[in-house]
């Protein structure tokens, strides 16, 4: 059997805004990051805001009807070659709606890379990221090493929604995106040559 040719074209990249809380800061962080990622020619960005996705809080057992919002989101996640999760930290962990959103899906995450942009208080959301790495590992996803983190986040952005240290933050974001793109292309080529069914 001849191996399939590697796919070409931009890498589908889903940017997931993980907080649904009233007064959340996530959309500010996500808009900045999306602006950078959207300028790259090697990526095609799809912003998924869990605050607007309408996913139910309660999961269903296998064999039961899957709710409409879950069915609507599934093809967008399945089409992605990579993910970036924007998450705050609540009580040393990540938001419950984000965990529920991850748990609604299985195959959509498999053999794909995940990057993280976190924000919060003194830890900058890094404890949430460390726990998310464990969750995504269980789902056979690959998390990239570098993250972008904002401690005391509301003081790190100006009134226009740009980081106060724009140069440093932009450089950190580009580093994350470079790693994500490398893994996304490598894993996309591997899935094309041999489907991941392990």
What average pLDDT does this structure show over 132-154? 97
Fold of 11-52+69-192: Rossmann fold (3.40.50)
Beta pairing partners, 182: none
Alpha-carbon torsion, ordered 8, 101, 89, 127, to 10 deg: -70
Rounded to an integer, what distance in angstroms lies between the CA atom of residue 28 and that of residue 55?
22
pTM for the model stands at 0.94
pLDDT, tens digit, for every residue of 20-60? 999 999 999 999 999 999 999 999 999 999 999 999 999 99
Angle in degrees, CA 101, 102, 105, rounded to 5: 95
Ordered by start, the domain boundaries in the chain are: 11-52+69-192
User: 8 falls in which pLDDT band (50, 70, 90)?
Assistant: confident
pLDDT, tens digit, for every residue of 114-133? 999 999 999 999 999 999 99
């Amino acid at each position: 059997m001849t191996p399939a040719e590697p796919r070409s074209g931009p890498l589908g990249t889903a940017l997931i805004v993980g907080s649904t809380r009233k007064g959340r800061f996530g959309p500010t962080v996500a808009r900045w990051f999306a602006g950078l990622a959207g300028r790259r020619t090697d990526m095609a960005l799809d912003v998924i805001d869990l605050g607007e996705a309408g996913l139910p809080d309660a999961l269903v057992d296998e064999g039961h009807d899957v709710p409409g919002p879950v069915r609507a989101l599934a093809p967008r996640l399945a089409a992605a070659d990579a993910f970036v999760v924007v998450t705050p930290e609540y009580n040393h962990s990540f938001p419950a709606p984000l965990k529920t959103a991850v748990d609604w899906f299985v195959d959509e995450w498999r053999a794909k890379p995940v990057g993280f942009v976190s924000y919060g208080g003194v830890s900058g959301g890094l404890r949430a990221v460390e726990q998310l790495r464990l969750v995504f590992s269980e789902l056979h996803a690959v998390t990239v090493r570098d993250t972008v983190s904002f401690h005391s986040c509301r003081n790190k952005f100006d009134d226009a929604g740009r980081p106060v240290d724009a140069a440093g933050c932009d450089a950190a974001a580009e580093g994350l995106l470079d790693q994500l793109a490398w893994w996304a292309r490598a894993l996309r080529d591997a899935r094309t040559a041999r489907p991941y069914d392990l």
